[in-house]
Structure 1
Amino acid sequence: MKYTLLELIGLASIGTVSWFVFREVWKFMYSTFIGHALGRSLSLKNIGQWAVVTGATDGIGRAYAEELASHGLNIVLISRSPYKLQNVAAEIESQYKVKTKIIDVDFTSGIEIYDRIKKEIEGLEIGVLINNVGMSYAYPEYLAEVPNATEFSQSLINCNVVSVTQMCILVLRQMVERKKGLILNVSSASAVLPTPLMTMYSSTKAYVYKFSEDLALEYAPFGITIQCVLPGFVVSKMSRYKKPAFRIPLPRDFVRGHMRTLGLEFASAGFWVHKILLGYYTKLNTVSPSTVVNVTFTNLSGTRQRALRRLQMQREQQENGIDTAKDK
């Protein structure tokens, strides 16, 4: 049976598209479900006695601390509030019967905090580092209109960029000596997608992505696994989502899903719904970048307008309260 040239081109196109779809589906299924079920994901057994988690008192950070404790690792909890750290540490020790150590530092501060962290973790066999601490905008905004932009930009860089870099420097040498270790650097889906009105935030997360990519290549010969995490929205104080939904998981569900991907892919959106959404939008961004830009800009512009209306209402309520007090 002979085919015309047009039919051959059509068959070749169908075959190419089918192969592309099959490959993407297989990658998703393997990294999300199959690889872990076959025992191919990274085991935390004998990786080290301690795990260090930054931003450990809320959200994803706390969920990572609890998940690692459930695997028998002792936990170094690093965050800003001593009171919250003490409470989380007590709960983890009680529930998981592991040791904890707390370090209260503000990652928006300068480089001097890392001297203290270095002294506090000295002598600990650290097998896992979770670079989770981060901060974002109060609401999407044009760069020149960000409140206290100069001070905010420095705090953002210290918290999102300097923290990841310095914490890796602190733990890598001992991991190399033992030829084992795991570092998870929490970035964001905004690192790989257009994110207007969140320019500084997405840029710091893009740094985390590139830094993790090259660091993973550097230290793979030493037996160290370095993975970049690219979450979408999760129920947390930073996201301001208070209730879970189909695409907005609880922190523990996100972390449990992500832990199954360890060692199976360099960058992971973690939760299976996030992986589908990120895969869809990154492919769409390749084919039709203007579409993705329009979607993100429209969504973030709407969020900005709602936030500005709330702020205006709050100002009016405060002014009315002051006027009422004066009348009395």
Structure 2
Amino acid sequence: MISGCTSYLWVAGVCVVAYYLFKIAKYFARLCNESLWSKTFDFQKYGNWAVVTGGSDGIGKALTMEFAQSGMNVFILARTKQKLENMEKEIKSMYKVSVKTLAVDFSKEDIYQAIQDEVSELDIAVLVNNVGMTHPEPIALLDVPNVEKYSNDVIHVNTFALMKLTAMILPQMTSRKGGIVVNVSSVIGSTISPFFALYGATKSCMNTFTEAMRQEYSDSGVIFQCIAPAITATPAVASRTKSNFMIPSSALFGKYAIKAIGKSAYTNTSFLWHNVFQLMLYVLPNVVFFNAMRKGVEDALINTKKE
């Protein structure tokens, strides 16, 4: 009896090891396919335009510049008109592509007809749902100033915009049997995120929405993809995060991201340290990260109050 139990345990152990080895091998295969030396996806086989929300700053701006460099026309949506005008001039001075911009506040619901009027004229190959917001510092939900307005704004910007733009542009992609919808999420969306609870919840929503759409439209020719970076030195976190060998600048992350677009359902790109973090999330129990994040954030808050 004991011998039989030992055999079953041995088989179970081998299966578990084989499972994790398979996941690790699959991980490294994706890294190779998305490396900086890999071939960029041929976006123009689906159309001539890339639409990027939140495209005037951070990762959105970096991706917009990469699309323009690859020869794609770009339609940039963001809140600040002056930033959009400056970016249009910059792109036109560097690349021979068409540029359209539209200043919109994604926390509002009355913006979508204006967007519809613009995109209906474009042959869109790629939609990048990048626009997002959160509070700049770790903080418990009820300590957020004007928490009701903040909650409403985060939900509108991080999730409502994603779904509205997807529903708006997807019909033309399905009619052509080709296109890419890229949703820029975060590794926070796949784990527990104390002190960023609402932001993490919206990113988790983005992850599940992306996967559901991928399965619903698996035979349509449209690629749905979730890009989930870890910490990146964007303007939103500039006060507490600087780029280093573990934390890429927005521009650097954009170079990794453009190589990943169109190649996998869920990715952190091939940037090494983002993948190390995600791999740890896959292998270790969530409770480990919950405790580590909680302790780290609480220590940071204590140090901030002392200062």
TM-score normalised by length of structure 2: 0.90
Check if 1:295 corresponds to 2:259.
Answer: no
Aligned to 1:274: 274
> Per the alignment, do residues 105 and 35 of structure 1 end up closer, same or farther by CA in structure 2, a change over 3 Å counting?
closer
Q: Which piece of structure 1 moves more, 155-164 or 29-38?
A: 29-38
Further displaced range: 15-24 or 164-173: 15-24
Give the drift of 1:17: 5.3
2:46 maps to which residue?
Answer: 47
Aligned partner of residue 76 in structure 2, secondary structure: strand
Give distance in 2, aligned partners of 1:36 and 1:66. Answer: 19
Return closer, same or farther for 1:307/1:90 CA change in 2, 3 Å cut-off. farther
1:199 to 197, 200, 207: 197
Give 1:181's aligned residue. Answer: 179
Question: What are the within-5 Å matches in structure 2 for residues 85-234 of structure 1?
Answer: 85-109=84-108, 111-234=109-232
Q: What is the CA distance between 1:298 and its match in structure 2?
A: 1.3
The answer for unaligned runs of 5 or more in structure 1 is 311-328
- TM-align CA RMSD: 2.4
CA positional deviation for 1:197: 1.5
C-alpha distance in 2 between matches for 1:182 and 1:207: 19
SS of 1:222's partner is coil
Once the two structures are superposed, residues 5-49 of structure 1 have per-residue CA deviations (whole angstroms, 9 ceiling, x without a partner) of: 798678646744553343233212211114779979743232211
Deviation for aligned residue 1:210: 0.9
- Give TM-score scaled by structure 1 length: 0.84
Amino-acid identity (%): 28
Distance in 1 between residues matched to 2:37 and 2:15, nearest whole Å:
29
**Judging changes above 3 Å, is the alpha-carbon distance between structure 1 residues 201 and 149 closer, same or farther for their aligned structure 2 residues?**
same
- Cα deviation 1:218-244 (Å, max 9, x = unaligned): 122110001111111111112225532
How big is each residue's C-alpha offset from its partner over 1:35-76, in whole Å with a ceiling of 9 and x where there is no partner? 779979743232211110011111100011011111111000
Structure 1 runs, 4 residues or longer, greater than 6 Å off: 4-7, 35-41
Contact 1:41/1:264, CA 8 A, preserved across alignment: no
Distance 1:308 1:184, change over 3 A: farther
Give per-residue Cα distances to partners, 1:102-121, cap 9 Å, x unaligned.
Answer: 10011112x21011111122
Q: Which residue does the alignment assign to 2:65? A: 66
CA spacing shift, 1:150–1:10, aligned 2, 3 Å = closer
Q: Provide, for residues 198-235 of structure 1, a one-character-per-residue CA deviation record: whole Å limited to 9, x for no partner.
A: 11111111111111110111122110001111111111
With 34-43 and 124-133 compared, the bigger mean Cα shift is at: 34-43
1:249 aligns with 2:248: yes
Alpha-carbon contact 1:48-1:126 (below 8 Å) kept: yes
8 Å Cα contact 1:140/1:197 also seen in 2:
yes
Contact 2:58–2:235 (CA<8 Å) still a contact in 1? yes
Greater C-alpha radius of gyration: 1
Following the alignment from structure 1 to structure 2, what is the Cα–Cα distance between the partners of residues 37 and 242?
A: 24
Runs (5+) with no aligned partner, structure 2: none
**Per-residue deviation at 1:160?**
0.5
Report the Cα distance in structure 2 between the residues aligned to 1:38 and 1:7, rounded to whole angstroms: 47
Residue identity opposite 1:77 in structure 2: I
Higher relative contact order (CA 8 A, sep 6+): 2
Cα separation, 1, equivalents of 2:131 and 2:252: 19
Q: How many angstroms does 1:142 deviate by?
A: 1.8
Give the number of equivalent residue pairs: 303
